[in-house]
Amino acid sequence: MHRRDLLKAAGASVTTLAAPRIGRAEKANKLVFVPTEDLSVLDPHFAGPRSRRTHAHLAFDTLYGLDTTWIAQPQMVEGHQVEEDGLVWTLRMRGGLRFHDKEPVLARDVVASIHRFAARIDLAYALMAATEDCRRPTTARCGSA
């Protein structure tokens, strides 16, 4: 074996070891989330590190989600109806929504979650301050002033 061939082989093996590898999930439908710090509180209604918000968006449904162009699209709602004056919105929940324990998600759960969220997040608090009423008659119904 020539000395040059030996150096080429050694150089190629070092380059191979130093090259970054692209990690792949076991299955195409598996998403792996690795936070930058421990998630000691999983409740998305408490402000905190960005990783908690990221985890919440991956683990929990929301009424509307943003698409790739930042336009709100129905997620938990099937759709909504807006009264002519634009002040009353009626939200229709998608069928088959369930909690982790298989209990159905009801309109009263959604209204309670909205009130809980608004008490802790400044933007939601400001929106609720401009809202006359948010209640559940037969469907989740929020009317603004």
The single-letter code of the amino acid at 15 is T
> Is the predicted pLDDT of residue 19 greater than 70, yes or no?
no
Residues 92, 78 contacting (CB under 8 angstroms): yes
Residues 81, 88 contacting (CB under 8 angstroms): no
Average pLDDT of the chain, as a whole number: 78
Q: Is 111 exposed, middle or buried (0-12, 13-18, 19+ CB in 10 A)?
A: middle
Query: What would the mean pLDDT of 3-9 be, rounded to a whole number?
Result: 64
User: Which residues are paired to 30 by β-bridges?
Assistant: none
Nearest-angstrom CA–CA distance, 145 and 132: 5
Contacts of 128 (CB under 8 A, 6+ apart): 114, 115, 118, 134
Nearest-angstrom CA–CA distance, 34 and 24: 14
Query: What would the mean pLDDT of 97-121 be, rounded to a whole number?
Result: 89
Confidence of residue 15 (pLDDT cuts 50, 70, 90): low
pTM: 0.61
